[in-house]
């Protein structure tokens, strides 16, 4: 590493030994990073072509107030999303408050009392337990008489084909497939695997709706779940597709009927997609989407860098240092609470905003154990920005994601490592 840079890192609290260790790892990753850049290049063109095809104009960046009738920008943005995901329609709104809301909306609007929801990939993301009613909650699907069935993945991570076939019955109306691992230590599904699962489900029951929780997966590959048969993809704009610029929002892209159902539920029967003022927010949605392929690439590089660093130091990392990637999340199992907290302090100290504060574990709505979160973000809670979180419960794993730029992501990981050196968890 050149002297100038080494001095800069020292000013940021990173000892030369830590910086050199990181540099050696980074130099081994050049080929892999080149592949990530290729995917980003492809996706950049996919996004650009969708913007151009829909003739997005300067007027689209402004938006409406009040009812928001005839909001040209909103309509074009939704058409752009539909083109990118190769779907009939899309709903992309600042009124969708977060990823959980987008998923709840897709589920509640496409399921009716007496029908059943099936997860063939094990337990869904923590916050969905209350949406579904796995943990009793006001307003859950269970309260509306919608039942839930679950088939776990096999111990080797594969699909339990027999179990899934047996679980599909006359009530099964919607199947939810979570692409990313979330707070679990299973592997993330590739788009190809999701395609195999969807084909199988449709072969058992052709009219079942296959929905994919696409959180953290967008633009990691050149294809998306809707390219391999999924009826609906759902995600958050303060993750990948917002490119770090969208300050709020969620999306649902899919079959016309699925999206329509969601729109009538989001606003009102009779109104659907026709209302919903975009206020002044659309510029960030368009520009964030435009940046998303390269921002996602930066986050991926950061995650791979972290995996290689911590695997080399003897910690268990998921995905491991060499396996292929299908989302931007990196899990690192430390086995003790103080290491999770130390890692998060390092990430926080690298932040552009609030770098001086110390993150501590707290009880968050929707989660069943105290969670520590490190995030010094421009957009509060945004996890496409450099961020880490970990529930304070065994196996004491930290889930790390984001990095709007690769140099910043790299710094964050070096700060986390230095923090662990400082508290004696890592001993050279």
Catalog residues that contact ligand PLP under the rule CB under 6 A: 98-100, 103, 125, 127, 178, 180, 182, 213, 215-216, 236
Q: Which of residues 103 and 141 has its CB atom nearest to ligand PLP in the complex?
A: 103
Q: Which of residues 97 and 222 has its CB atom nearest to ligand PLP in the complex?
A: 97
Q: Which of residues 109 and 127 has its CB atom nearest to ligand PLP in the complex?
A: 127
Least separation in angstroms between residue 216's CB and ligand PLP is 5
Q: Which of residues 61 and 379 has its CB atom nearest to ligand PLP in the complex?
A: 379
**CB neighbours (10 Å) of residue 44?**
17
Least separation in angstroms between residue 318's CB and ligand PLP is 15
Least separation in angstroms between residue 97's CB and ligand PLP is 8
Least separation in angstroms between residue 124's CB and ligand PLP is 7
Q: Which of residues 13 and 122 has its CB atom nearest to ligand PLP in the complex?
A: 122
Between strands 209-213 and 330-333, the pairing is: unpaired
Q: Which of residues 64 and 240 has its CB atom nearest to ligand PLP in the complex?
A: 240
Q: Which of residues 330 and 419 has its CB atom nearest to ligand PLP in the complex?
A: 330
**CB neighbours (10 Å) of residue 395?**
11
Least separation in angstroms between residue 113's CB and ligand PLP is 24
Least separation in angstroms between residue 288's CB and ligand PLP is 15
- Using alpha carbons only, give the angle 330, 323, 325 rounded to the nearest 5 degrees: 55
Least separation in angstroms between residue 98's CB and ligand PLP is 4
């Amino acid at each position: 590493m050149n002297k100038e840079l080494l001095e800069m890192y020292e000013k940021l609290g990173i000892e030369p030994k830590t910086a050199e260790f990181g540099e050696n790892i980074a130099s081994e990753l050049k080929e892999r990073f080149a592949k990530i850049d290729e995917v980003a290049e492809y996706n950049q063109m996919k996004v650009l072509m969708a913007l151009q095809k829909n003739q997005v104009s300067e007027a689209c960046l402004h938006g409406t107030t009040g009812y928001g009738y005839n909001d040209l920008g909103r309509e074009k943005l939704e058409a752009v999303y539909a083109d990118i995901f190769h779907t009939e329609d899309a709903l992309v709104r600042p009124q969708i408050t977060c990823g959980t809301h987008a998923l709840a909306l897709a589920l509640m609007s496409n399921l009716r009392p007496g029908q059943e929801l099936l997860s063939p990939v094990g337990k869904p993301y923590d916050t969905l337990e209350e949406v579904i009613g796995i943990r009793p909650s006001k307003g859950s699907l269970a309260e509306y008489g919608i039942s839930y069935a679950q088939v776990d993945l096999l111990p080797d991570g594969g699909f339990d084909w027999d179990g899934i076939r047996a679980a599909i019955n006359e009530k099964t109306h919607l199947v939810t497939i979570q692409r990313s691992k979330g707070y679990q230590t299973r592997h993330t599904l590739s788009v190809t695997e999701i395609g195999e699962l969807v084909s199988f489900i449709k072969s058992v029951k052709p009219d079942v709706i296959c929905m994919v929780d696409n959180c953290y997966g967008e633009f990691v590959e050149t294809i998306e779940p809707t390219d391999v048969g999924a009826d609906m993809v759902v995600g958050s704009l303060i993750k990948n597709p917002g490119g770090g610029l969208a300050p709020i929002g969620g999306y649902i892209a899919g079959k016309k009927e699925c999206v329509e159902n969601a729109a009538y539920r989001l606003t009102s029967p009779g109104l659907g997609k026709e209302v919903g003022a975009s206020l002044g927010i659309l510029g960030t949605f368009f520009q964030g989407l435009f940046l998303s392929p390269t921002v996602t690439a930066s986050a991926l590089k950061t995650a791979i860098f972290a995996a290689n660093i911590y695997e080399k130091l003897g910690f268990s990392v998921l995905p491991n240092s060499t396996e292929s990637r299908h989302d931007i999340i990196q899990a690192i199992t430390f086995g003790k609470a103080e290491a999770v907290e130390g890692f998060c302090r390092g990430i926080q100290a690298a932040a552009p905003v609030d770098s001086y504060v110390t993150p501590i574990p707290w009880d968050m709505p929707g989660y069943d154990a105290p969670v520590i979160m490190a995030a010094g973000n421009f957009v509060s809670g945004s996890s496409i920005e450099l961020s880490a979180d970990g529930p304070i419960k065994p196996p004491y794993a930290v889930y790390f994601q984001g990095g709007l730029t690769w140099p910043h992501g790299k710094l964050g990981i070096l700060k986390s490592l230095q923090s662990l050196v400082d508290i004696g968890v890592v001993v050279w």
